[in-house]
Every structure is written in structure tokens, then in C-alpha cells.
Amino acid sequence: MTRKDNYMKIGVFDSGLGGLILLKAIVKKLPQYDYIYLGDTQRVPYGNRSQTTIYEFTREAVDFLFKKNCQLIIVACNTASAVALRRIQREYLPKYYSNRRVLGVIIPTAETAAKFSPVGVLATESTVNSGAFVRELKKLNPKVTVYQQSAPLLVPLVENNAIKWAKPILKDYLSPLLKRKVKGIILGCTHYPLLKSQIKNLAPEVKIISQDEVIPAKLADYLKRHPEMGRQLSRNGRRELYVTDLTENIQVKAKSWFGEAKLRLAKLGQR
């Protein structure tokens, strides 16, 4: 480390705008800590990428955040959590940052959803193809029945501030799950909470499991169970946001959600 332990921060990584939704919810729950966010907005979406590419993008992001003095990183991207997280934890961390941690969003979400059966998973193509939610749900509840539905058009809609046109697309994606009479639907992408109200209107009898409602409490519990890590984290209420492409949508959302007093928003390469 190049600085004292108590300067360490919490990092959050996502492929684009979706992670900001999760960061907003985490900050609301745990406002005292300092956070650094990295959004790979230039290369979003990850959902249709190869596993090798997703791993390389995730490794680059984790490396960036650790060099920014993060003690703990949340991989908010479900695709990256599903495809790359295990390899990051088993190969990258022991070699380069053995005293730090990288956590994902799949297992905490599965822990919340495992009591619902049948349960649906609405996610990107890569997340669905990885089978990560199915594996984790089956570990927690071997009797659970899981139905998955890929939704490749939803991330571009959110990234381009076009959710007002999402209803017919959502109806098409939700139809196979609702025909199976699922009792819960996992929103298996951090972009999807911005569509949550529309999804609830289309599936009013179904429990919607949204990660902006799940992950903050899970992180608070993790820090409570690991006080040695919590003691290393700085508590100045600062937020640094880095993106690989500084879009107008990101700028508007960041300033609206986090204010400007203790916010720094920059495109990578800028000082």
C-alpha cells in the first residue's frame, strides 16, 4: 500500500449506468464511507461479449480500482459477476492483492430469491448462458425451479435514456416467465431497477427481487461480520466517479443522485 490503511475506499464497478443505481442505494444505506465508481460506458453492454473479453474487461476495472486505493470492490455488473468473478477471486487476488476483497452480486441476490419457487431470472444473454443464478439458487434450495429469460434490449434502452419505450419489449420478455407462474422474478442486471415500476405493473402478483434493494443490506452485514475491514475504510462521505465515456445521461444522473458538494466525476485520463 502507498497510503495508510484508514484511507482505503469501497470500489464499485459496472459496465455502465446500472452500477450508479446500485451505488446510489449503497450510499443511502452506508453514507459515511468513501466510494470510487468505475463505469465502462465506452464498452457497454457486456452481455453479448465472449467470456474471455468479459474477464479481461473486469480484470482491468478491478486493477484500476485497487490502484485507486480500494480495499473492497463490489462487481455490480451481473454479467461480470457471473462470468469473471470466480477467476478474479481465485487467480488475480492471490497473486496481486491477497489482503483485499472482490465481491459480486449473484450470491447475495440468490440468497434473497431462493425461497421463491418457481422463480424467474431476467438478465443479459451472458448471465443467462453462464447459469450462475441457477447454480447458486440450487445450492441454497435444491428443490427450487428456475426459469431464465435473456433481455438483450433492456440495457441499451436504459443507457440511452429511452425507458419510456420499454413497455412492449418488457411484455415480450416477461411473458414466458409469467406463463410459468413464477412467484418471484430476479432483476439480474443492475440497469433493470430503472425499469422496476414498469415490471411491477406488468407483473403485480409477483415478487420483484431488485438488487438496489438487496445489495446495500448485504454489504452492511458483510462489514459488520468483518470489522477488521471496516476499520480500514475512510469515512469522509466522498464519491469519485470515473467513466470510460462521459455521456450526458451519466452526468445528469450523477449530479442528481449524489449532489456536487463531495462528488468528483471524470472521464478516464482526465485530472
φ/ψ of residue 204, rounded to 5: -65, -20
Do 77 and 43 contact (CB within 8 A), yes or no?
A: no
Strand 184-188: give its sheet, edge to edge: 146-150, 119-123, 184-188, 207-210
CATH architecture of 107-213: 3-Layer(aba) Sandwich (3.40)
DSSP-derived letter for residue 12 is E
Report pLDDT for 249: 82
Beta pairing partners, 147: 120
Instruction: Classify 5-104+214-267 by CATH class.
Output: alpha beta
pLDDT one-digit tens code per residue, 144-184: 999 999 999 999 999 888 999 999 999 999 999 999 999 99
Alpha carbon distance 35, 12 (integer Å): 7
- The pLDDT value recorded for residue 83 is 93
Return the pLDDT at 31.
95
pLDDT in tens, 239-258: 999 999 888 888 888 888 88
Kindly state the cell numbers that stand for 21: 443505481
Residue 262 pLDDT:
66
Indicate if 107-213 has the same CATH topology as 5-104+214-267.
yes
Please provide residue 266's backbone torsions phi and psi, each rounded to the nearest 5 degrees: -150, 150
Task: Please name every residue paired with 38 in a beta bridge, in sequence order, or none if there are none.
Answer: 13, 242
Rounded to the nearest angstrom, the gap between the alpha carbon of residue 208 and the centroid of all alpha carbons in its chain is 16
70 tagged catalytic: no
Query: 10, 77, 146, 208: which is the annotated catalytic residue?
Result: 77
**Which residue positions in the chain have pLDDT lower than 50?**
1-5, 270-271
Q: Which of 21, 189, 203, 214 is catalytic?
A: 189
Q: Where are the domains of the chain?
A: 5-104+214-267, 107-213
- Alpha-carbon distance 194 to 165, whole Å? 13
